[in-house]
Homo-oligomer: A and B are copies of this chain.
Amino acid sequence: MGASLDSVKSGTETEEMSADTDLRERLLQVALELIAEGGLAALSIRAVARRASVSHQAPYHYFADREQLLAALSEQGFRRLIADFERVSSHDDDDPLRRLERLGAAYLRFALRHPGQYALMFRRDVVDHHRHPALAEAGGCAFQTLVDAVTAIHAAGRLRGGAPDQLSVVIWSTVHGAASLWRDGALQTKAEELDEEGLIALVTSRLSAMIEKGNP
């Protein structure tokens, strides 16, 4: 028996992926679908296996346990976030404060568009970064982008007090908090006239206000 339909790849390209794709990749994509549909609670190894039409044990050939699959998903999220960062960084406008604002907006957009995956990236109770060096490295790289942006503001002499790495902590806290609260629906009931773009504008505008020298 097994995966009996290799090399067939006939008419059904419409759904999911073609059958001969790496099972590992297919499992990751299916897991992402499940998270997007029903949140982290809807993600079980067996559910992933079912949707991928393999046995409930097949995923364990590629991932030692549940946490390893989640770690791979989490790392993928950080890499995509970093890619988003790079996209908005390579802007011809080189004002460091605007750059920080664009990074903040990109962060929030990523979090709001991929709420399930974003949540997973910070659920250390289910994925311990210490056990997954590649994940820890990706997360560190994302944070470093923020630190670099603040350092550039400092170098331009426009930072009001504080060390760049410490101010980065506060800035990261602000965007992470806004993203988390919005995802959890905690903000929608408080400021009803606020939509996603409004939230992004509100938060990013205060990011520079928080650290810029000589702000009115």
Expressed in whole angstroms, the Cα–Cα distance for A181 and B180 within the complex equals 11
B39, B189, B210, B214: the one within 8 Å of A125 (CB): B39
| Residue numbers in B under 8 Å from A175 (CB-CB) | 173, 177
Known: A177-B176, A180-B180. A187 touches B170 (CB 8 A): no
| Residue numbers in B under 8 Å from A169 (CB-CB) | 178, 181, 187, 190-191, 194, 199, 202
Expressed in whole angstroms, the Cα–Cα distance for A124 and B189 within the complex equals 13
| Residue numbers in B under 8 Å from A186 (CB-CB) | 122, 124, 139, 143
Cβ of A129 within 8 Å of any chain B Cβ, yes or no, is yes
Q: How far is the CB of A144 from chain B (nearest CB, A)?
A: 9
| Residue numbers in B under 8 Å from A167 (CB-CB) | 206
Q: How far is the CB of A26 from chain B (nearest CB, A)?
A: 25
Cβ of A47 within 8 Å of any chain B Cβ, yes or no, is no
| Residue numbers in B under 8 Å from A139 (CB-CB) | 186
List the number of copies, as a whole number.
2
Cβ of A168 within 8 Å of any chain B Cβ, yes or no, is yes
- CB under 8 Å from chain B, chain A span 181-216: 181, 184-187, 189-191, 194, 199, 202-203, 206, 209-211, 214-216
Expressed in whole angstroms, the Cα–Cα distance for A173 and B176 within the complex equals 7
A172 contacts B177, CB within 8 Å? yes
Cβ of A126 within 8 Å of any chain B Cβ, yes or no, is yes
Expressed in whole angstroms, the Cα–Cα distance for A170 and B204 within the complex equals 10
Cβ of A41 within 8 Å of any chain B Cβ, yes or no, is yes
Expressed in whole angstroms, the Cα–Cα distance for A199 and B39 within the complex equals 31
B125, B172, B178, B216: the one within 8 Å of A41 (CB): B125
Return 8 A-B CB contacts under 8 Å, by A number.
Answer: A140-B190, A143-B186, A147-B190, A168-B190, A169-B187, A173-B175, A173-B181, A174-B174
Question: What residues of chain A have their CB less than 8 Å away from a CB belonging to chain B?
Answer: 39-41, 119, 122-126, 129, 136, 139-140, 143, 147, 160, 162, 165-170, 172-178, 180-181, 184-187, 189-191, 194, 199, 202-203, 206, 209-211, 214-216
